[in-house]
Structure 1
Amino acid sequence: MQLPLKVEEITAEWVQQALRVRFPNIIVEGCRVADVMLGTSTKIRIELNYDRGGQALELPRTMIVKGGFEAHSPGMGFMYAKEARTYGEVLPLWDIRTPRCYFAGSDEHGYQSIILMEDLVARGASFCHAQMPQGFAQVKRRLQAMARYHAQMWRHQAFEEGGVLAWIEPRMTGDTLMYADRYLQPETWQHYIGSPRGAAISRRLHDLDWMRAAFGKLAELHGNHPLTLSHGDTHLGNLYEEADGTPGFFDMQVNRAPWFADVTYHLICALDLMDRREWERPLLQYYLDCLAAEGVAAPDFDEAWDCYRKEIAWGLFVFIINETRFQTEAVNTAYCARFADAALCHDTLSLLA
């Protein structure tokens, strides 16, 4: 089916066609665009009216259309396709709380991919935010959820050749490295170092040659540890909480990675600088305990601590170069400051020298 490329092309007729993939007789009588939220992907809240048959199915009156509707979207097609495939093929197999999905599809000949998903606001969920660091109990609950979904896919046979998840790449390979290389060029790197986020971190962390070398060290580190299914982008802007505090996840960029990829990234993104210094050890131990409780042979604390200290480099890179069309400068600067502080506290520079 043809996918809309403009917001005004999201009509009752198109939504009906999308929903009929799962609900063959659904009739959508009306569709109104209520809100447009810009970002890496565009999220569009729509209000829907159904006929009596549709009402009997108890489908929600509001949904979110997620896809590429902005000037930068043609260059993000691989990310959109990956997420649509995640919703269509991965999430039905994975024990992770996410918004319900009603349609996921990609244009094989273009850049567009569309996900039609549940509107979390309508059920009272609250969204996490970079400028609102989280408390100890909140992060504990999140780590418990991570341990559960990591354990489920730990060294899973679905990743093997011919398996249903074999298409999911290891983190430090392929598309990830191609994307990163665009930002590891001197002129581009210097542009971000010269921005407010660059001024907010120590000059010791401005070294492009060190960052390039760190990528090789991280690839080696990942290759020496068991891989599982990773959310891939566990910063606060991609997370929510149910009304009862249960943690939820969205905006996945799934890849195969060791456990510490999601955990390190989340811990440093989620915690205030001083809280992280006080809480990171007990929180890391709690995650390892949860992983063991799920039946995984968890690493001992010293090994886990070493991996955590090294993995900090990944998040530091991400938020040094993250474009303001994806996150505001305020958000990028907040995260940069957290990763920079962690890198200096843990001597990540020397560990990956």
Structure 2
Amino acid sequence: MTVIDGPSGLTPDALSEIFQAPVTGVQWEKVGSGQIGACYRLRLEGAEGVPRRLVAKLAAEDEASRAFLGPAYRAEVSFYQDIAPTVAVRTPRCHYSALSEDNTTFVLLLEDLHPATQGDQIAGCTPQQAADAVTNLAGLHGPRWCDPTLLDLPWLSAVGEDDAATLSEVFAPAVETFTERFAGELDDRDVRTLRETAEAIAAWVTGRPERFGLVHGDYRLDNLIFPPAPERGVTAVDWQTLSLGHPLRDLAFFLGTGLEPGDRATHERSLVGAYHAALTGYGVDGYDLDECFDDYRFAALQGPLITVLGCAYGARTERGDRMFLTMTARSCAAIRDLGTLGLV
């Protein structure tokens, strides 16, 4: 399999070999910030059967960071190769995927979803968009719900007791760094909630193991692509954080960070209900709506966990800071409203 290392490798010859059809012209432009990987929008000319528009996702331009990012690259390529055909979540069609033996270089050639547009984590979303997103999320969780064969995939990791202890050791100082960075901008109640979350995170991350499945890990508006209104059918992207865990972590993360607290409180029962109804459509049984809502309450610590760690390890930007503050305020409010810490 041909692995392309950088946009200079997106040549007519290389793409002709991939598509087994003549590609006579390639134009590309970079899209996105490229902190974890680099994305390019391609326009192709060639024989019938050659896609005219594609998105190419490649390894980060900073070669020094690639060894650290290898597990993320392996997860995303493996998702498209091993998992996507077995679930019902809407994702871009993957035309081609390849990964180097050391996992530091990869290529994905994905469907260009234009004119659909990316969600905005800061602006939030409407209840209708949220309903579309949670129904799509059930398409990830439902088909492989508590599927023991997932445990046989060597690239798909679940958090054990040792991992939980390590996470606690990492997360607690990350919370203090986060609160220092945003001193004066964080509500005092949110600071307390973050610190209480840090104390509970080790027990939480391994909690309720009787229900497990695929976890996107970062299912939020910036990773969702919405079609132009009035069309429905949100598409999920960025599968580098895929893991095994409690599936409701994705649902709680999405609703807790994507909706303003008032909107979440008003609509969350109906949205959890829509998610649960979609789950049952995929054959999930013996799991009633009350249990589902209780798991949703329990899972809300995913919000500060991902937000704080994302802030700690991502490159700092003005939009990023606003996003992290917005997500923190929303998710901490959800934890308090739902009484999550009392369930851990």
The two structures share one fold, judged by TM-score above 0.5: yes
Q: What amino acid is aligned across from residue 251 of structure 1 in structure 2?
A: D
- Point out where structure 1 has 5 or more consecutive residues left out of the alignment: none
Identity %: 22
Deviation at 1:261, TM superposition (A): 1.6
- Report 1:333-348 matches (<5 A): 333-348=325-340
**In the alignment, does 2:233 pair up with 1:236?**
no
**In the alignment, does 2:291 pair up with 1:296?**
no
Q: What amino acid is aligned across from residue 315 of structure 1 in structure 2?
A: G
Kept in 2: contact 1:197–1:337 (CA 8 A): no
**In the alignment, does 2:116 pair up with 1:131?**
no
- TM-score with structure 1 setting the length: 0.83
How many angstroms apart in 2 are the aligned matches of 1:182 and 1:81?
A: 26
Residue deviations 1:204-239 (CA, integer Å, cap 9, x gap):
0342xx44442322233241x322223332111111
Residue deviations 1:75-105 (CA, integer Å, cap 9, x gap):
2111011101111221122212111111111
Kept in 2: contact 1:154–1:227 (CA 8 A): yes
Deviation at 1:28, TM superposition (A): 1.9
Per the alignment, residue 72 of structure 2 pairs with 79
How many angstroms apart in 1 are the aligned matches of 2:169 and 2:40?
A: 29
**In the alignment, does 2:159 pair up with 1:156?**
no
Deviates more, 1:128-137 or 1:176-185: 176-185
Q: What amino acid is aligned across from residue 272 of structure 2 in structure 1?
A: L
Do the aligned partners of residues 135 and 206 (structure 1) sit closer, same or farther apart at CA in structure 2, a change above 3 Å counting?
closer
Deviation at 1:181, TM superposition (A): 6.1
Per the alignment, residue 31 of structure 2 pairs with 36
CA RMSD of aligned residues (A): 2.8
How many angstroms apart in 1 are the aligned matches of 2:280 and 2:305?
A: 30
How many angstroms apart in 2 are the aligned matches of 1:148 and 1:4?
A: 31
**In the alignment, does 2:320 pair up with 1:325?**
no
Kept in 2: contact 1:67–1:80 (CA 8 A): no
Q: What amino acid is aligned across from residue 325 of structure 1 in structure 2?
A: A
**In the alignment, does 2:310 pair up with 1:315?**
no
How many angstroms apart in 1 are the aligned matches of 2:4 and 2:166?
A: 26
SS at match of 2:211: coil
Which of 184, 201, 217 in structure 2 is aligned with 1:215? 201
- TM-score with structure 2 setting the length: 0.85
Q: How many residues align?
A: 332
- Report 1:1-353 matches (<5 A): 1=1, 3-17=3-17, 19=18, 23=19, 25-38=20-33, 39-50=35-46, 55-57=47-49, 59-71=50-62, 72-121=65-114, 124-159=115-150, 161=152, 165=153, 167-170=155-158, 172-173=159-160, 180=167, 183-184=170-171, 186=173, 188-196=174-182, 199-201=185-187, 202-207=190-195, 210-223=196-209, 225-243=210-228, 244-252=231-239, 253-297=241-285, 299-323=287-311, 324-325=314-315, 328-352=320-344
Deviation at 1:158, TM superposition (A): 3.2
